[in-house]
Structure 1
Amino acid sequence: MSLRSVLGTAAGAALLLLAGAPAATASADSYETVTVDPTGSIAPDGTVTLSGTYRCLGNSGPAYVSSSVSQGDPAVRHGIGGTQAVCDGMEHAWKNSGKPSHPVAPGAAHVEATVMELSAGSGLPLPRFHAVQQQDITLSAS
């Protein structure tokens, strides 16, 4: 067996092992969390309101809870507001409202909520993600 075929076999085995390994997550400390309530609302004017809780630790810059909603095509997300976050290790409620660029309807939806900080440690504000949650919810008319 040549060196080339041995290396090829070893590389193939390594790829198979990596393919079966669980993906590493980009979450910070597991103590940092964000949740999404199972129900959101749509006002008569089309404004969507989403809510949940978050907990994060010591930020060096401004932190926010952002949220987005999608229906049907998961590649099309609509940003739904943002709330300033306090990263003191305590659990806090968040509530975001916004009017999507395209209407969404009552029924099943997918929400992503993110706790993100603009960290200025390097001089240039860079995003630092504290927690991310994706969840299926129900939107109801309010």
Structure 2
Amino acid sequence: MPPRPCRKVTVDPTGSIAPDGTVTLSGTYRCLGNSRPAYVSSSVSQGDPSVRHGIGRTWAVCDGVEHSWTNSGKPSHAVTPCAARVEATVTELSTGSALPLPRFHAVQQQDITLTAS
């Protein structure tokens, strides 16, 4: 059996759109790190792949254990219940300099289905 990856992020195959337009996405993540702040961010696109809408972020615990994440947000333009492309990223904020710098642990792009909730 191959070893489990220490850093990964997954996206669930289905997301939801509430009547007010709020999109909810979810999945799992695993990362290793120090005690620095980290989070899982996500975005969704439909149609034009160069146009992505940020859908929130969730604080992450980088302890090597698999955790669930759920992000919700209202896109700047309406999305519809149908196929969509989601990108999820686990990012750690490195505080070794005057400005916090992002350190990317894992990125996943996946096609999903958005459903009306």
Match of 1:100 in 2: 75
Q: CA deviation at 1:61?
A: 1.8
Identity percentage over the alignment? 83
Q: CA deviation at 1:124?
A: 2.6
Q: CA deviation at 1:122?
A: 3.1
Point out where structure 2 has 5 or more consecutive residues left out of the alignment. Answer: none
Match of 2:113 in 1: 138
- Choose 71-80 or 55-64, whichever is displaced more: 55-64
The answer (yes or no) to whether the contact 1:112–1:135 under 8 Å persists in 2 is: yes
TM-score where L is the length of structure 2 = 0.93
- Aligned pair count reads 113
Counting strand residues as a fraction of each chain, which structure ranks higher? 2
Cα gap change, 1:60 to 1:122, in 2 (>3 Å): farther
Q: CA deviation at 1:60?
A: 4.2
- Choose 91-100 or 118-127, whichever is displaced more: 118-127
Match of 1:116 in 2: 91
Question: Which residue, 24, 49, 57 being the options, matches 1:74?
Answer: 49
Question: Which residue, 83, 88, 112 being the options, matches 2:63?
Answer: 88
- The CA RMSD measured in Å over matched residues stands at 0.9
TM-score where L is the length of structure 1 = 0.77
Counting helix residues as a fraction of each chain, which structure ranks higher? 1
Return the index of the structure with the highest Cα Rg.
1
The answer (yes or no) to whether the contact 1:49–1:95 under 8 Å persists in 2 is: yes
**Alignment deviations for residues 2-59 of structure 1 (CA, whole Å, 9 cap, x no partner):** xxxxxxxxxxxxxxxxxxxxxxxxxxxx420000000000000000000000000023
1:55 aligns with 2:51: no
Question: Which residue, 31, 42, 59 being the options, matches 2:17?
Answer: 42
Greater relative contact order: 1 or 2 (C-alpha under 8 angstroms, separation 6 or more)?
Answer: 2
Point out where structure 1 has 5 or more consecutive residues left out of the alignment. Answer: 1-29
Question: Which residue, 32, 35, 43 being the options, matches 2:7?
Answer: 32
